[in-house]
Amino acid sequence: MTQKELIMETSLSSRTVRSALMRLKEEGVIIERHSFIDARQSFYGLDNAVIGMTSA
C-alpha cells in the first residue's frame, strides 16, 4: 500500500501518515519497498517476521 493510499483510506493528514510510517519502520513492524515504475513512490507492508510473531 502506498502512502497516498493510506492517507485516502484513513482520512489522516499526510504528515500524520508519514510520521507513523517512519516510526513503524524504525520499530521493524513494516517494510518499505520502492517502486520500479516510479522511483518516487514506495510501497509499505507488514514485515513477515512480525506476522509470524502474532500468529504464534
pLDDT of 10 above 80: yes
Question: CA-to-CA distance for 22 and 26, rounded, in angstroms?
Answer: 6
* CATH match for 3-54 among 1.10.150.240, 1.10.10.10, 3.40.50.970, 1.10.3720.10: 1.10.10.10
C-alpha 2/C-alpha 35 separation (Å) is: 10
Mean pLDDT across the chain: 89
25-48 average pLDDT score: 90
Choose among 26, 28, 19, 33: nearest CA to 47. 28
Does the pTM exceed 0.75? yes
Residue whose C-alpha cell is 509499505? 44
Nearest 10 degrees: CA dihedral of 7, 11, 16, 17?
-30
Average pLDDT over every residue of 25-51: 88
User: Residue 12 burial (CB < 10 Å; 0-12/13-18/19+)?
Assistant: middle
At 9 the pLDDT is 96
Higher pLDDT, 14 or 55: 14
